[in-house]
Structure formats: C-alpha cells, structure tokens
Amino acid sequence: MSENRIQAASGTPWAHWQHSAHLARATWISADTLCPPGTRLVVVAPHPDDEILMCGGLLSQFSGREQDVVLISVTDGEGSHPESTHWTEHRLRHQRVLESREALKCLGLDPAALDWRRLHLKDGGLPREEAFLVNHLNQLLKPGDVLLTTWRGDGHCDHEAVGRACAQAAQARQARLAEVPVWAWHWADAEDARLPWACAHRLQLDETSRTRKRRAIAAHVSQMEPDEDRPPVLPAMLLECLLQPFEVVFL
C-alpha cells in the first residue's frame, strides 16, 4: 500500500532537500508561463487543504483573475482524524469547508467569484471513484486548460487516484497536466529516483505569495493543531518544504 510510505517515514528535513542535485536542475518557470492570461486553471484537490499545499502560491497570483479558476474539492476531508473524539467525521465535514473558504481569502481570492465545485466523495475511498472522476473531468475540461492536481506517486491513496484520473482526462481532452508532490516531500529523499525529476519545474514565488500561502495554511486549524496526544496531521518538517520560494510541478 502506498500509505505505508507516509506512515513509515519520519520526514525528510528541508536541509536535505537543499542539497538535491535533481531539484537544483529543475527549470524555473513563472505563473504566466504555466498558465498565461486567458488560460483556465483547473485545480483538483483530493482534500480541502491540498489546493493550498500544492499551489497556494500560484493561486495567490490569480487575485482578480478568479474567473479563470475552477477549484474541485473532491472529498470533504472527513477522514483526517480517525478515532478522534474531538474531530469527528461530522464535525470535520463542516469545519474543513469553512477552513478552505478562509484559506482562499488569505490568498487574496474571492471564494464567491470562483467556480468552486465540491463533489463530497468519501475521504480515503477515491481509488474506487476514479471512473466517476474521469467522467466528471471529461465533461468539464476544454482543450488548452491547465489541469493541476496531486502527483500520481505521492504516497496517499486519494492523491494517487486523483492524479491518475486527471492524467487520463487531460489526455482525452487535450488539457495540459501539472502534477504536484505533497506527501513525497515527507517520505522521499533528496535523490529519490522514484520522483519524475526529468519533468520537474520550479514555479517561482515572490514574498507576497509566500506570505499569503503561509497564512492560508494556518487557516486549516484542524490540520495544524495537535489532537489530544496525537501530533498535527501536517508535520512541521513537511510544511517547511512546502513554504519555499517556489512550488514544484511535474509537467
């Protein structure tokens, strides 16, 4: 199971990634290179925070361009705290949507101006929903769209299922696919050959975008705070990797 990679890993500190020859060779690109003005950006987030972790810096540059963004929240993120008495599934379904809305505001976006679609699929059950996702995306996508989602090898079953579905739909609809590692920063090492370094690019972020992304991540209170004797869902070591002056995309 891919989940074992996450659970078995203690985390890879940013100090190790700094010495990655693969990362150093990744080509620098800008938001306008990835998604030129007038091009539609379709972001598919397995859980309600993945859009921020993946591409919060990129999204912050769409302030005033909300009409060019489609955000798909595939699940409600209700499975993030199994067996918790505080963060029950019922509470998380409500809470995580509120956190997402606040996070988008932190990026300088108007949530009401976005085409924001919530599919309410089962958190942790997306490998069984790939055909549904492909069909949904086939109806939505237009040739030339930029379709951004989690990498197919990211180590979380939902991230990988969504990545596979997006890859299939992008090919069918002639959209440009951009996959982003999230949990790979946690379980991989700096020279890990399992990552598709040959197609890695670094999307440059200015200080404003980084600050907005940092605030947006902090808005996800349920994922950032300990739950009794359990550590936060999002480890500090992982967040440090995701808050660098760039976001990595596999194109």
Cα 108 from Cα 34, distance rounded (Å): 20
The CATH number assigned to the domain holding 210 equals 3.40.50.10320
Residues ≥6 apart with Cβ < 8 Å to 218: 106, 224
Global pTM value: 0.96
The pLDDT of residue 3: 61
What's the domain range around 141?
3-250
Per-residue pLDDT of the chain (251 residues; tens, 9 = 90+): 566 788 888 899 999 999 999 999 999 999 999 999 999 999 999 999 999 999 999 999 999 999 999 999 999 999 999 989 999 999 999 999 999 999 999 999 999 999 999 999 999 999 999 999 999 999 999 999 999 999 999 999 999 999 999 999 999 999 999 999 999 999 999 999 999 999 999 999 999 999 999 999 999 999 999 998 899 999 999 999 999 999 999 99
Cα 152 from Cα 162, distance rounded (Å): 7
Query: 3-state SS string over the chain?
Result: CCHHHHHHCCCCCHHHHCCCHHHHHCEEECHHHHCCCCCCEEEEECCCCHHHHHHHHHHHCCCCCHHHEEEEEEECCCCCCCCCCCCCHHHHHHHHHHHHHHHHHHCCCCHHHCEEEEEEECCCCHHHHHHHHHHHHHHHCCCCCEEEEECCCCCCHHHHHHHHHHHHHHHHHCCEEEEECCCHHHHCCCCCCCCCHHHEEEEECCHHHHHHHHHHHHCCHHHHCCECCECCCCCHHHHHHHCCCEEEEEC
Residue with tokens 């929903």: 129
Contact 203, 29 (CB under 8 A): yes
The pLDDT of residue 8: 85
Cα 27 from Cα 128, distance rounded (Å): 35
Number of domains the chain contains: 1
Burial-class residue 143 by CB neighbours within 10 Å (0-12, 13-18, 19+).
Answer: exposed
The pLDDT of residue 79: 92
Cα 180 from Cα 150, distance rounded (Å): 5
Query: 3-state SS string over 175-234?
Result: CEEEEECCCHHHHCCCCCCCCCHHHEEEEECCHHHHHHHHHHHHCCHHHHCCECCECCCC
The pLDDT of residue 32: 94
The pLDDT of residue 167: 98
